[in-house]
Amino acid sequence: MRYFTIETSRIRLTWEGPRPQFPRPPLVVEAQTLDANAPPALHCGTEAPGITEQTRYRLLLESRDGNPVTLRHANPSFLRDLHALEQGRLWHGSLHFGTYAGRTAFIVWHDGRPHLRLELEIFPTRLSYRSDYEAMLADLETWTVEPALRFGSGVWQHGRLRTGPPDHPPGWIARLAATLRALERAFRRIAQRPLTEVQWLRQWQPLEAICHPDAALRRAVQTGSGQGPEVRLAGRPAHRIQQAARAVVTTDTPEHRWLAWQLNQALRQVQQLTDRLTRSHALARTRRQILRDLTARLEALQQQLPPATLPLLPPPPTPRLLRAEGYRQAYRIFRWLQLRLSLLNGLLAFEVGQIHTLYEYWCYLTLVRLLSRQSRCPLPLFRLFTLSEDGLQVRPICSRPLWFALPDGSRLRLIYNPRWGARSLLVPQQPDLLLSRFRPGHPPVHYVLDAKYRLDASPAYVRRYGVPGPPMDALNDLHRYRDALSSYFTRHDGGTVAQALALYPYRDGPAGCFAESRLARALSEDGVGALPLLPGATEHLEAWLQKITA
């Protein structure tokens, strides 16, 4: 069905998609012309639902005057299924946003120039947008919100800055990208009315131009120093050109030196991140181009800044830096870059990653938190997260064991993304989580957990299992993990895989009660099943942990 159509005097854009399913989110779409043309005409279908993740849409972009048109996006993977016809006068194809949720923008170019900006809001289908999604972000913020960031994704959430210790490069670059436009406005104000100060400098000047003779000048005249022809001064010979103090108005002020140092530091950090991007895949190329654009904008700010000496260390802030127009805004922004960020209830836009990755991270951290609470073992943050090779993403450390001591003398070990390669198994295996229990005098017992964001809520599935749950192929993966890893552990440590279970986004409701479902029975009877897990609905996972550690 047709969702909306946007028309200007030069282009027509039509967006189509599947018929709505209930409950349906509202359609949020905004269009704005970027040239001198009249505002675009936006026509929305009366029954059109909102744009959602994991949904394929059809798009048609037409030129109305015969000139070529192009559709552009910060994330080129969104446009890979679009095709150009008639020498670029017609674009058509499909769009799929994966599991991204948030706001995103497309730019329509007409005849080689940006013509129209189209902004959409993408809603999640597996989570309640305003409760579950934001609750996951809030949970992440108790550790660090940076795993939710995805530089170059082209999809953003609105957030804010808050006090706290400085975070990693992904958080810093996200804050810089979000505040750079405001920094450019502040520097334009500085260029209009730059601060100056008067400095006394010793310069060569003729005697008749010297207004404030001092002791050094008198000594120079008495000793015959100076340059130029001799003249009579107070009845005695003296050179006409002498070095004397002169008042000079300069922009080499503490305020400009402070700004120059901050700009130089920001530019160096961006350049270091750019140098780390050595891979050639599409996302790396997109990120590299974005970082180059940031570098160019920072270099342009350096050119706008009034001439000043670059100090080795920044001078302390002055009252004029804190009060003057443009300067106080720039000072506040550079201070913001030293704060932490929050993805909740703010006005700044930060690019975020796909929800299935966010859900996987959240499941891992929720399990860590529950194990830490049960064993009373605090865990430092540096043991959980690491920087990616390009320095632009924070993610959990793979294959590093976390140990938890229990009161009965046994120990629990949790590993994120353990991997068994072809040398260990015929087919490599890599589940999301492996939880193991080691008791003195007993063989180890292992539990495989997989975070599955996909959800099958079809009537046939609910009739078979009693509640919505992970798709059939996800349940088959659990059988594969259990069989392959049971054989491996039996050979290596005499242990067994007691259970393999999926963690999936669901809470008890009209669709069914999990405790009475076939998924719950299969977990205890067959060793393969699933547990629903959402913010505020962790009771099933907590009960399972208490059972296996009893």
Q: What is the pLDDT of residues 400-418, one digit of tens each?
A: 899 999 888 899 999 999 9
Whether 324 is in a domain gets the answer yes
The verdict on 167 and 105 lying in the same domain is: no
What is the rounded distance in angstroms from the CA atom of residue 268 to the CA atom of residue 272? Answer: 6
Does residue 213 lie within any of the structural domains? no
pLDDT for 513 equals 87
Q: What is the pLDDT of residue 190?
A: 95
Q: Could you tell me if 76 and 168 lie in one domain?
A: no
- Per-residue pLDDT tens for 420-446? 887 778 888 999 999 999 999 899 999
528 or 387, which is more confident? 528
pLDDT of residue 33: 94
Kindly state whether residues 94 and 119 are assigned to the same domain: yes
Q: What is the CATH number of the domain that holds 55?
A: 2.60.40
Percent of the chain with pLDDT over 70: 91
Q: Which of 78, 108, 125 is the last residue of a domain?
A: 125
| For residue 162, pLDDT beyond 70 | no
Say if residue 127's pLDDT is above 90.
Answer: no
Task: Please tell me whether residues 360 and 492 are part of one structural domain.
Answer: yes
Higher pLDDT, 351 or 93: 93
Beta partners for residue 496, in sequence order: 445
Region of residue 515 (left: phi > 0; alpha: psi -120 to 50; beta: else): alpha
DSSP 393-437: -EEEPTT-EEEEE-TTS-EEEEEES--B-TTTSSS-B--SEEEEE
Does residue 216 lie within any of the structural domains?
no
Say yes or no: 487 and 458 in one domain: yes
- pTM for this entry: 0.73
Judge whether residue 156 has pLDDT over 90.
no
Residue-level pLDDT at 287: 77
Q: CA–CA distance from 415 to each of 367, 383, 391, 398, 546 (Å)? A: 11, 12, 23, 7, 19
Q: Are residues 360 and 471 in the same domain?
A: yes
Answer with the one of 315, 331, 350 that is the final residue of a domain.
350
pLDDT of res. 508:
84
Task: Note the pLDDT tens digit of each residue in 326-350.
Answer: 999 999 888 878 776 666 656 566 6
- List pLDDT tens digits, range 169-214: 777 787 788 788 889 999 999 999 999 988 777 778 887 777 778 7
Q: How confident is the model at residue 19 (pLDDT cuts 50, 70, 90)?
A: confident
Residues 114, 172 within the same domain:
no
Q: Which amino acid is at 430?
A: Q
Output the average pLDDT for the chain. Answer: 86
Q: How many CA atoms lie within 13 A of 205 on its CB side?
A: 15
Q: Are residues 437 and 370 in the same domain?
A: yes
Give the span between the Cα atoms of 309 and 307, in whole angstroms. Answer: 7
> What are the b/e assignments for 196-227, b being 16+ CB within 10 Å?
eeeeeeeeebebeebeeeeeebeebbeeeebe
> What's the rounded Cα separation, in Å, for the pair 530 and 469?
8
The region of weakest confidence among 45-49, 89-93, 348-352, 358-362 is: 348-352
Q: Would you say residue 412 lies in a domain? A: yes
Q: How many structural domains are present in the chain?
A: 3
Task: Looking at the structure, tell me whether residues 469 and 380 fall in a common domain.
Answer: yes
What's the confidence (pLDDT) of residue 346?
A: 63
Q: Which residue has the higher pLDDT, 139 or 192?
A: 192
Residues 20 and 27: their CA atoms lie apart, in Å, by 11
* pLDDT at 376 > cutoff 90: no
The tens digit of pLDDT for each residue in 71-89 reads 999 888 899 999 999 999 9
Q: Decide if 320 is inside a domain.
A: yes
Q: What is the CA radius of gyration of the chain?
A: 32
Confidence of residue 145 (pLDDT cuts 50, 70, 90): low
Q: What is the pLDDT, as a whole number, of residue 27?
A: 94
Q: Mind listing the pLDDT tens digit for each residue in 232-287?
A: 777 778 888 888 777 778 899 999 999 999 999 999 888 888 887 776 666 677 77
The answer to whether residue 94 is domain-embedded is yes
The answer to whether residues 305 and 415 belong to one domain is no
Question: CA 194 from chain center: how many Å?
Answer: 34
Residue 227 inside a domain? The answer is no
Task: State the Cα–Cα distance between residues 24 and 305, nearest whole angstrom.
Answer: 51
Quickly count: other Cβ atoms within 10 Å of residue 63's Cβ. 20
Based on the fold, state whether residues 373 and 506 are members of the same structural domain.
yes
Query: pLDDT: is 39 or 20 the higher one?
Result: 39
| pLDDT value at residue 528 | 94
Q: Which two tokens stand for residue 191?
A: 């260029």
pLDDT of 530:
95
- Judge if 287 and 175 occupy the same domain: yes
Provide the residue range defining the domain that includes 93.
2-125
The pLDDT of residue 211: 74
Does some domain include residue 218?
no
- Kindly give, in sequence order, each residue whose CB lies less than 8 Å from that of residue 542, ignoring residues fewer than 6 positions away: 370
Query: Each residue of 96-117: pLDDT tens digit?
Result: 999 999 999 999 999 999 999 9
pLDDT at residue 313 in the model: 84
Last residue of a domain, one of 335, 350, 365: 350
